[in-house]
Structure 1
Amino acid sequence: MATTRFPDASPRKNGAALTAPPAPDLPVPRPRVPRGACTAHASPGALVITAAEHEFARLFGLRPKEICGRGLFELLRSSAPGRLREQLTALSSGRCRRVTRKVTGRDAAGREFTAELTATAVRAPAGGTTGVLVLLRRTETEAVRRTGRVDRAEVTDRAEAVDRADAVDRAGAERKEAVAGAAEGDRTAGRPVLSALDAQVLEGVASGESTVQLASRLYLSRQGIEYRVGQMLRRFDAPNRPALVARAHALGMFAAGQWPPRVLPERVR
């Protein structure tokens, strides 16, 4: 009895093992910021403000460069300060991911305001907490909730304080600050010094992160990332990102033998 044999189409015997197509490299979604909320970044552990939006600084009658270096507990108070400190300490150490509390602060006119604080831990790809994202949403005062009216004098005083604070910063205050910081760092015996945020951007570029990935991880816009990278390209006289990383290595900016790359603490102001 004749039998018909069919060729074996097994991928193993033909030496062509099937593999699943690679997953697309999708950007990490940025967290949704509630309406009326403003953000700042704080260092883990010490909870010192390292970067802040204009709106965040304006709540306290300060400019962004003035609020940097202030401690979170210096700016905000809680009805249970011990509990708030315990929760934020647990957030910094990685024992929890988010803290939400009612807090109070003082505006430029010295008036107390209430706000809702939401603090979220920023995780590094290799594990560990690299920072704390602080969202602050100012809530209505008791007088507004009770009467439905806003104190015009309070609004006027606040607007005048905001205008005074913004008079110097309008039309590119951050750019002036970055240029001034770069010039100051370059004068220190050929040992350039970066701001904390620029150091994180440089570390991400050296690790091969894209603009979208950096913007998502650092909670900045893509234009903000491109602006900071462009500033460093001009500062280090580099034509592109690989040349920027090579130049930073040549200047001894990175810790030797460490991956992912980390800027030396003495090179961060």
Structure 2
Amino acid sequence: MIFDRVSVPVAVCDVYGAVQVANPAMAAECGTTPGRLRGRDVLELFRPQEATQVERIAEALRLRHRSRYQVSVRWQAPDGAQRYGELTADPVSDTVEDTPALLVMLRVLAEREGHEQRPPQVAPIEARILALLASGTTTAQAARETDLTVDGVNYHLRRLSTRWNAANRTELVARAYALGVLAPGVWPPTPAAGDGSE
């Protein structure tokens, strides 16, 4: 079966998140076999970073919206390391009227050994730009705040996007929070303590 040969961790879940079938790569992230994942709640295996993300997705699915949904998650790898990543769920069904299943893919973004809680290293200017971006500033405003040119700000954002494999600025900010680069629950957004930006 082609599903089993896909190297990316993939599972098919019912609309409530219960795993119906998983490939070996997904099972390996949980330290088990594909058959043992059947019936398990995907959001118990991979814990969401923000409950509000899950609530918005659940509401959208109830309204039968068919979009791609992304959730920042963390989980413990079989070797004990804390991993961080992103679950992407795509509703799939034969017809629009059918209750969709969810095709779930996992992307691993970072790993922290044991109980160490250090976020990935970013340059002080990168952390500052991410905080400004999270607060809604434009590229021009961020350039003025950091004494850079617009091209300079874009350069740092491109570097971060490449490093974290982020598709756009919204995803970049979400990852900065998920990876602990930006302090959670703080407004205006600020770099987290110990992120290498001190």
Structure with the larger RCO, 1 or 2 (CA within 8 Å, 6+ apart): 2
Structure number with bigger Rg: 1
State the TM-score, normalizing by the size of structure 2.
0.49
With normalisation by structure 1, the TM-score equals: 0.37
